A and B are shown apart, each in its own frame.
Chain A
Amino acid sequence: MSAALRRRGLDWLLNGYGLLALVYLLVPIAVIVVFSFNDPVGRFNFLWNEFSLDAWKHPFAVQGVGDALKTSLEIAAMSTVIATALGTLTALALVRYEFKGRGPVNFFIFIPLATPEVVLGAALLSQFLNWGSPQLGFATILIAHVMFNLSFVVITVRSRLIGFDRSLEEAAQDLGATPWETFRLVTLPLIMPGVISAALLAFALSIDDFVITNFNSGSTITFPLFIWGAARVAVPPQIYVIATMIFLFTVAMMILTVWQQRRAEKMAAVRPDEPEPAAPRPAPAPA
């Protein structure tokens, strides 16, 4: 009896701990949402004063923040499209084909992920400085964002491709489809969820990036760069308002994608991520 009791106590303890960890993850986000309704005293929005809707009524009242956000959105959209396209092709090559040098290529794609962002940014700046062109600004930020997004896209799409049922493609080819038709009508729709997750990830990473952008931006200002500049002189509640808006938008996109994918998978007869009949896994080595 006491053993069972102890076990239940342990269960509760573990669940409580997990819950606490979740709370820890969410509290700072809640603080941002709450403080977007603050009417702060002074230039910094760090102490609660009183409830106000002013910042929500005029989210772009702070000079420059609208332009910065626009630049960020443009760069995020463009870099997402480019990185997703290039990364998907790379992932296809890596999973679907056997060729010389696949190991090194896998490793090469992994290195940027293992490189601190400051190093990525600094190295790219060294190159641009030596070339003297293009002028630091929109173009160099875009180049940088595609660069750091590529590896993430490759890895995301690759993980989707690995669980891919090749017999479907073979069936298409048996039915007389050309390689291009097979790709367009069979392969692409099946890997689409992976491609979409990769694109979402790339977009989120791009709109969020500060470190690498900071090195290669010249005088162009993105939303994170704007916040960086603001953090030293003044943090108006508008920044929190825009952050809340971006947050809500991303959550909505996320839920929409998940819902869409569920629906698509329900409608399609094929469920690519149906678990295969599991073979018994190898036993772990005794410790």
Chain B
Amino acid sequence: MPVRLRKAALPYLLLLPGLGWLLLFFAIPLVYMAFESLKSGSPFAGGFQLTWEFSNYTDALKDYDEQFIRSFEYAGLATLIALLIGYPLAYVIAFRGGRWKNAMLLLVIVPFFVTYLIRTLSWETILSDSGIVVNTLQAVGIVGDAGRLLDTTVSVVAGITYNFLPFMILPLYASLERVDPRMLEAGYDLYGRRRDVFRHVTLPLSMPGVVAGVLLTFIPAAGDFINAQLLGTPKQYMIGNVIQSRYLVVNDYPTAAALSFLLMAFMLILVVIWARIAGTEALLGTEGERR
């Protein structure tokens, strides 16, 4: 092969294995799922046939609108709480961390070192009836004597918030860390008060982190079903629970596939809107690439 051609082909050759894998096991499966979502029939008598059953989508949306709405409510709430917890913490680490910066960052990702399911079981332990938290809250009178935390909306949202919190903190920290201290000094030199400097300098400069953090928290949160299953009851079930049980318990593949696509579509719409607001570069993390 002539050298020039080989040079031109090189990037594609490098891409081939990785992209091939994603094509074969991510993109094409979506096509299969698309066909699956348009089938009708039953798992018992003769299986499912492709009949271009578009009503699967409207039926799924009608039957499970409650779980869809709940998913977005819980995920939105958890994202908001994570932002409220995560921003100040990221700020403290970035600007006050000093030589403890790396140690504190390590502590932020420590929860990731414990299996997700066990972290959730730990919340089951913490919030369990007659556990310390419930007893304390009962003594103070916030929770009634027969009241409980486990199997309520509170426990599910708390679990989701906790499990995805590091996804919020890390991008926040990354963007706050990059804020040039000289910019803040300039703000103070110009007689900005603290809150002015924060509002007009720090906050705008950390916006890419907020954007990425919100997305990284919201997406997995809205699709989650583990927290609702372990910390809630069917009254707290989210759309993930429905997809999981339709697929693996009831074997109702068409409905599950349709629900999956609806969920994915909602997510993509959100990402696109978000990208419009925030700019794709911050989103894809491609700033600074060779152009």
A interface list, Cβ under 8 A from B: 7, 10, 14-15, 17-18, 21-22, 24-29, 31-32, 35, 45-47, 85-87, 89-90, 92-99, 105-120, 122-127, 129-130, 143-144, 146-147, 150-151, 154-155, 158-159, 162-163, 204, 207-208, 210-211, 214-215, 223-224, 227-228, 231, 235, 239-240, 243, 246-247, 250-251, 254, 258, 278, 280-281, 283-287
Please tell me which stretch of B53-61, B136-144, B256-264 contacts chain A, meaning at least 4 of its Cβ atoms lie within 8 angstroms of it. Answer: B256-264
Evaluate contact between A155 and B285: CB separation under 8 angstroms.
Answer: yes
Bound-complex Cα distance A18 to B101 (A): 12
Bound-complex Cα distance A244 to B233 (A): 28
Complex interface bits, B253-281 against A, C-beta within 8 A gives 1, otherwise 0: 10011001101100110010000000000
Closest beta carbon of chain A to B46's beta carbon, Å: 15
Residues of A within 8 A of B114 (CB): 28-29, 32, 243, 246-247
Evaluate contact between A28 and B36: CB separation under 8 angstroms.
Answer: no
A89-B17, A251-B113, A285-B204 known, 17 other contacts, Cβ within 8 Å: A7-B194, A22-B104, A25-B162, A93-B14, A106-B284, A117-B223, A118-B263, A120-B26, A126-B32, A126-B253, A147-B25, A210-B116, A210-B117, A215-B247, A227-B121, A284-B200, A287-B204
Evaluate contact between A281 and B32: CB separation under 8 angstroms.
Answer: no
Indicate which residue in B11, B14, B33, B286 contacts A126 across the interface (CB closer than 8 Å).
B33
Does any Cβ of A come within 8 Å of B226's Cβ?
Answer: yes
Known: A98-B290, A116-B219, A116-B222. A127 touches B28 (CB 8 A): yes
Bound-complex Cα distance A150 to B125 (A): 34
**Which 7 residue pairs of A and B lie closest in terms of their CB atoms, listed nearest first?**
A116-B223, A18-B92, A90-B18, A97-B11, A93-B14, A123-B29, A28-B122
Evaluate contact between A119 and B223: CB separation under 8 angstroms.
Answer: yes
Bound-complex Cα distance A69 to B288 (A): 41
Residues of A within 8 A of B17 (CB): 85-86, 89-90
Residues of A within 8 A of B93 (CB): 18
Bound-complex Cα distance A136 to B19 (A): 23
Does any Cβ of A come within 8 Å of B151's Cβ?
Answer: no
Q: Which size class do B's interface residues fall under?
A: 35 or more
Residues of A within 8 A of B64 (CB): none
* 12 pairs of residues in contact across A and B, judged by CB atoms under 8 Å: A17-B88, A29-B110, A31-B125, A32-B118, A116-B220, A118-B260, A119-B223, A147-B22, A162-B288, A246-B113, A251-B113, A254-B113
Does any Cβ of A come within 8 Å of B15's Cβ?
Answer: yes
Bound-complex Cα distance A94 to B14 (A): 9
Closest beta carbon of chain B to A153's beta carbon, Å: 8
Does any Cβ of A come within 8 Å of B44's Cβ?
Answer: no
Residues of A within 8 A of B26 (CB): 111-112, 120, 123-124, 147
Does any Cβ of A come within 8 Å of B201's Cβ?
Answer: yes
- Across the interface, name the chain A residue whose C-beta is closest to B106: A254
Evaluate contact between B180 and A281: CB separation under 8 angstroms.
Answer: yes
Indicate which residue in A93, A109, A115, A251 contacts B264 across the interface (CB closer than 8 Å).
A115
Bound-complex Cα distance A239 to B28 (A): 37
Known: A26-B110, A28-B162, A116-B240. A105 touches B264 (CB 8 A): no
Bound-complex Cα distance A127 to B17 (A): 20
- Across the interface, name the chain B residue whose C-beta is closest to A240: B118
Closest beta carbon of chain A to B255's beta carbon, Å: 11
Residues of B within 8 A of A231 (CB): 117, 121, 230
Residues of A within 8 A of B18 (CB): 86-87, 89-90, 150, 154
Bound-complex Cα distance A284 to B192 (A): 15
Residues of A within 8 A of B115 (CB): 207-208, 223-224, 227, 243, 246
Evaluate contact between A94 and B289: CB separation under 8 angstroms.
Answer: yes
- Across the interface, name the chain A residue whose C-beta is closest to B113: A250
- Which B residues between 1 and 37 are near A, CB-CB below 8 angstroms? 8, 10-12, 14-15, 17-19, 21-22, 25-30, 32-33, 35-36
Evaluate contact between B289 and A28: CB separation under 8 angstroms.
Answer: no
Bound-complex Cα distance A146 to B247 (A): 22
Q: Which one of A21, A154, A214 has the highest number of Cβ atoms from chain B below 10 Å of its Cβ?
A: A21
Bound-complex Cα distance A111 to B284 (A): 10
Complex interface bits, B105-140 against A, C-beta within 8 A gives 1, otherwise 0: 011101111111111011111101011000000000
Bound-complex Cα distance A280 to B181 (A): 11
Indicate which residue in B118, B128, B131, B166 contacts A227 across the interface (CB closer than 8 Å).
B118
Indicate which residue in B32, B123, B220, B287 contacts A117 across the interface (CB closer than 8 Å).
B220
Bound-complex Cα distance A212 to B261 (A): 16
Evaluate contact between A251 and B257: CB separation under 8 angstroms.
Answer: no
Residues of B within 8 A of A120 (CB): 26
Known: A150-B22, A231-B230. A22 touches B107 (CB 8 A): yes
